[in-house]
Chains A and B, each alone.
Chain A
């Protein structure tokens, strides 16, 4: 008798596990729907737009942003985040488990993003916020601080060494390159007039033919060609010489046998110099 039959004679454990999975899926679905619905309602609400507008225009927000930018807090936080490799782990997790795909699909399917974007753009909130940021020199200060602290370089290095070199990125790239869509895209590019025109322009350029002339006249190329030609002629002549000498030896042996003469002891070894 099996141990599982002793512990769970009614087979409740697998059923419980399946039920748990179904509950988890339902909960995830419900939570996602609620989140999207809330976002939709928020985006459509005029109160939210007014609140955002008043926030963007308030002096308190401006002072808080200035303090953040002029202080070293952002740089320290950025350094700390980079040192812990948190962004890399988050990106790998999001990409690896397909969470980003699911969220984006759901978000786009509900057209919530479109409605939020329409709402923001129609009220002119985005334009006003952007004007404010640009005219106050806030963007300039942010960029200067980021560049002065070397945050951009460190982020780029981390991204290059972390995300680009990660197995997930490699797998994603491999899947992309092996996909039918990519093949079709490349075929379209090759069939397009762009390639023909580019090749025609390259062939019509004087620089290309100057370069070809230079290569053809280079001592290395001419020496290689002449060496190869001479080598071939020598090889053919040498081979013919070896064969005729071999035929000489055979013919002489035959003649000596016919005339009952002793064979020459000093016959040259055929093919030997």
Chain B
């Protein structure tokens, strides 16, 4: 009896090929050669940071403009600063978590044609995406030493990837296939 049949509780005589049993297309485990290195990821991250901060600056400028015509008591000023900081954090976390869990590509990743996925090649779950963001922060704390792991790991994983069990892979073939005409 095959391993597959034992798992499904079927007799060995009813064994059928895996391709026939599998209804949903299984996620392809990325090969180590498909994993992306440090510099490409830094460029993509830089584009994402630019997007995040430009939006945050525009928003804070708009709010500051509103505050300029309304007199705010000093007691509320500290609270406003805390609220702004929290909003910035939520915005940054929401930005990465949303893109990683939906398309796997932030705008920066899209430009450089890379994609974040789970280690089995599937889509990253929200919980793991949140862990990945925390791991990203932790990797940056010791003078970005957490990112140096990317240079020596066989699948080019940083600290955040080890924590969230994620990979960053090349998306050029997938993008080209998606952009190709339907009849091609």
Instruction: Please list the residues of chain A having a beta carbon within 8 angstroms of any beta carbon in chain B.
Output: 237-238, 240-241, 244-245, 247-249, 251-252, 255-256, 259, 261, 264, 266-268, 273
The yes or no answer to B154 lying at the interface (CB within 8 A) is yes
B40 to chain A, nearest CB (A): 4
Is the pair B39, A244 in contact by a Cβ cutoff of 8 Å? Answer: yes
CB nearest to B151 among chain A residues = A255
Instruction: Please list the residues of chain B having a beta carbon within 8 angstroms of any beta carbon in chain A.
Output: 31-34, 36-40, 43, 111-113, 148, 151-152, 154, 156, 170, 172-173, 176
Q: List 29 A-B contacts (CB under 8 A).
A: A237-B112, A237-B113, A238-B113, A240-B43, A240-B111, A240-B112, A241-B172, A244-B39, A244-B43, A245-B36, A245-B37, A245-B40, A247-B39, A248-B38, A248-B39, A248-B40, A251-B37, A251-B38, A251-B39, A251-B151, A252-B156, A255-B148, A256-B151, A256-B152, A259-B152, A266-B32, A268-B33, A273-B170, A273-B176
User: Which 10 A-B pairs give the minimum distances between C-beta atoms?
Assistant: A248-B37, A255-B151, A244-B40, A266-B33, A273-B172, A247-B39, A266-B32, A237-B111, A268-B33, A241-B112
Chain B residues closer than 8 Å to A268, beta-carbon distance: 33-34, 170
A140 to chain B, nearest CB (A): 71
Chain B residues closer than 8 Å to A252, beta-carbon distance: 37-38, 151, 156
Is the pair A267, B33 in contact by a Cβ cutoff of 8 Å? Answer: yes
- A238 to B170: give the CA distance in the assembly, Å: 12
**For the complex, would chain B's binding face be called helix, strand, loop or mixed by DSSP majority?**
helix
CB nearest to A273 among chain B residues = B172
Select the residue from B37, B148, B151 with max chain A CB neighbours within 10 A. Answer: B37
- A266 to B154: give the CA distance in the assembly, Å: 9
- A270 to B151: give the CA distance in the assembly, Å: 16
User: In the complex, given contacts A241-B172, A273-B176, what are 14 additional A-B residue pairs having Cβ atoms less than 8 angstroms apart?
Assistant: A237-B111, A240-B43, A240-B111, A240-B112, A241-B113, A244-B39, A245-B36, A245-B37, A248-B40, A251-B39, A255-B152, A264-B154, A268-B33, A268-B34
| A256-B152, A267-B33 given; A273·B38 CB < 8 A | no
B152 to chain A, nearest CB (A): 6
- A231 to B37: give the CA distance in the assembly, Å: 26
CB nearest to A238 among chain B residues = B113
B49 to chain A, nearest CB (A): 16
Is the pair B43, A266 in contact by a Cβ cutoff of 8 Å? Answer: no
- A248 to B176: give the CA distance in the assembly, Å: 22
Chain B residues closer than 8 Å to A266, beta-carbon distance: 31-33
Chain A residues closer than 8 Å to B113, beta-carbon distance: 237-238, 241
B153 to chain A, nearest CB (A): 10
Is the pair B152, A249 in contact by a Cβ cutoff of 8 Å? Answer: no
Is the pair A261, B152 in contact by a Cβ cutoff of 8 Å? Answer: yes
B173 to chain A, nearest CB (A): 5
- A251 to B147: give the CA distance in the assembly, Å: 13
- A249 to B34: give the CA distance in the assembly, Å: 12
Chain B residues closer than 8 Å to A237, beta-carbon distance: 111-113
- A244 to B113: give the CA distance in the assembly, Å: 11
Chain A residues closer than 8 Å to B172, beta-carbon distance: 241, 273
